[in-house]
Amino acid sequence: MSDVLVVGGGVVGLLSAWSLGQEGLRVTLVERGETGREASWAGGGIVSPLYPWRYGRAVANLAHWSQDFYPSLGLRLLEDTGVDPEVHVTGLYWLDLDDQAEALAWARANGRPLHEVDISAVHDAVPALGAGFSRAVYMPGVANVRNPRLTRSLREALLRLPNVELREACEVRGFIAQAGGIRGVRTDQGELYADAVVLAAGAWSGELLAGLGLELPVAPVKGQMILYRCAADFLSSMVLAKGRYAIPRRDGHILVGSTLEHAGFDKTPSDDALASLRASAEELLPALVGQAPVRHWAGLRPGSPEGIPFIGPVPGHAGLWLNTGHYRNGLVLAPASCRLLLDLMLKREPIIDPQPYAPQGRLVATPLA
């Protein structure tokens, strides 16, 4: 029997399990497929909300804490596992924003280093950028993390902890309720028991909670991405315009994304999305005209109201905790979300006010069939 069962092996589940395991708790992580192969693998890995000024304080507080934490997390995982998550600090240029004045006002109010830059200076700094832009704002210090390597390093870190068990290809079918609380999960490989269960199953979390007669407003939102292979010095900074972005990796790979589609749990890449993404890539970076992407894929984000995740205990079900619903910002918010969860579970002073993320009052009871 474990102290804690974590359901879901994306970056939030992996980091939750690792954080709990670092405290000496006996942890079992259960993942229906392979760890890190859903939204955490599919995303771009920008360590910032795409438009941070368009979110409320709840998302901003998690994002700011995580942004400050990521460099040390990357170094710690590299030292512990030998797998480099590649936290790559490039800065980010936003181009031709409709709400540039609001962005700059937000930066002043929050003490964030976002400032206006003359477009000629942007072209000097990013020679690959297309000529069709007239205005820019820039935030130095914004990083991207190579998310598939981040989840690989977290998986390796878990395997090195003697008090943590990893169960992949193990699908959770429901919860075990005893004495008014949740004491484990039913899986396709049998029952697993624990003192506490953390649900971190991303877009699939709502389906599992429905078995308890609870409606979690988290739904899958499909996103498609493409990948180019370029020279290592081709793109020096991340750039974003018209809702689309280009992200440079250290080895020259360039990610371009992404779409926002409400298509249920369908993850099939589409020709229409490919054409749209290629057009965006070629507008941002004209050198890509005529160059075929080396990869095209889709993933499912856990969409939630206002993008505010659910972090904390589930009312009426003692022992059940949530860490899910991060929408487009799972990688951005994961470190702070998992630290907040840890603080709440261990009854410590939380890093930030936990109230905006509490499941209490945000879940709806529904009749069981």
**181-217 pLDDT tens trace:** 999 999 999 999 999 999 999 999 999 999 999 999 9
pLDDT reported for residue 364: 82
pLDDT in tens, 140-175: 999 999 999 999 999 999 999 999 999 999 999 999
pLDDT reported for residue 366: 73
Are 66 and 333 in contact by the 8 Å Cβ rule? The answer is yes
pLDDT reported for residue 1: 85
Instruction: Give the Cα separation of 310 and 357 in Å (integer).
Output: 5
pLDDT reported for residue 137: 98
pLDDT reported for residue 368: 58
Instruction: Give the Cα separation of 35 and 354 in Å (integer).
Output: 27
Query: Rounded to a whole number, what is the largest CA-CA distance in the chain?
Result: 67
Q: Is the pLDDT of residue 369 over 60?
A: no
pLDDT in tens, 42-96: 999 999 999 999 999 999 999 999 999 999 999 999 999 999 999 999 999 999 9
**Residue 229 corresponds to which tokens in the numbers above?**
């292979």
State the pLDDT confidence band at 367, using cuts at 50, 70 and 90.
low
62: closest CA among 12, 109, 106, 22?
12
pLDDT in tens, 2-36: 999 999 999 999 999 999 999 999 999 999 999 99
pLDDT in tens, 229-286: 999 999 999 999 999 999 999 999 999 999 999 999 999 999 999 999 999 999 999 9
pLDDT in tens, 279-325: 999 999 999 999 999 999 999 999 999 999 999 999 999 999 999 99
Are 31 and 294 in contact by the 8 Å Cβ rule? The answer is no
Domains of the chain: 2-41+149-215+305-365 (3.50.50.60)
Consecutive H or E run containing 229: strand 219-229
